[in-house]
Amino acid sequence: MRKPTFSPTKLTTYLTCRIKYHWAYMTPYGKWMRRANPAFAFGANLHRALDYFHSVGGAEQLSQEQFHMALERLWSHAGFESNAQSEAYKQTGLELTQQYYQAQAAQPSESVVLFTERMLRRDMGRYVLMGRIDRVDEHPDGTLEIIDYKSGRSDVTEEQVLNDFALHCYALLVQEHYPDRSLWIAIHALRPNKKVAVPVSRETLDEFRELLNQLVAQILDEDWSILNPEWIPECAECEFLELCVRKLGLAHAE
């Protein structure tokens, strides 16, 4: 029998609301009720452009104009509510990628890009952990730095990196493929063009792995016949709100 797979997105959905996890991953409503998500579409377009930028050799190989043209060419309207909205986001995307380009050209990194936008999997025993990693850099001493781009944040702090659930999942995935390397995890906030990186120890990853195993065991062993939703702040923006109200009797907050 195929093992169940879990991604950071799936696990984060469960941590936010177990009912939402039920709708999204255990019923067809997950696909039927998928909404246009401009913020997500914006991030996906930027990821594509940065993937291209690094795959062709970065600022050393690409002029600023060529990078600009690449974003125009790679831009997709999918996921936006209208073409006008997509164009507005594209203008912001052009500004952010030009800012990114200029910073890379002004201060070339000593690290090399090992890979970008790669899906990795790790057999965790009872389940398979999987995740798409934005970028991994290799430092001159062999340390690997796992970088997650954030296109919506106006700032990033060390504490946010230390507490980032997805990055710790990515570190477990990279550890499987490069077991002897020291690892760093980093968030690169594209709006302020600020990157914060911190080392992640083997002990921390061992502890995280234990917690992850417990979380997945809880999901797999849940009694999914009991669904009693209670109002949480996330309900207001949730695509499943009407389902929860209609089928499960969720009461709106006062």
Interface positions with ligand SF4 (CB under 6 A): 17, 19-20, 23, 229, 232, 234-235, 238, 240-241, 244, 250
Distance CA 1, CA 23 (A): 23
Q: Where are the beta strands (DSSP E) in the chain?
A: 5-6, 112-123, 128-138, 144-150, 183-189, 194-200
CB of 248 to ligand SF4, least distance (A): 7
CB of 13 to ligand SF4, least distance (A): 9
CB of 228 to ligand SF4, least distance (A): 9
Query: Structure tokens of 22?
Result: 């039920």
Q: 23 or 101, CB closer to ligand SF4?
A: 23
CB of 176 to ligand SF4, least distance (A): 32
Distance CA 14, CA 132 (A): 19
Q: 4 or 249, CB closer to ligand SF4?
A: 249
Q: 16 or 61, CB closer to ligand SF4?
A: 16
Q: Which long-range contacts (CB under 8 A, 24 or more apart) does 117-123 make?
A: 117/47, 117/51, 120/170, 120/173, 120/174, 120/176, 120/177, 121/5, 121/173, 122/172, 122/173, 122/176, 123/3
Q: 43 or 229, CB closer to ligand SF4?
A: 229
DSSP-derived 3-state class of residue 169: helix
CB of 37 to ligand SF4, least distance (A): 15
Distance CA 54, CA 110 (A): 14
Q: 203 or 223, CB closer to ligand SF4?
A: 223
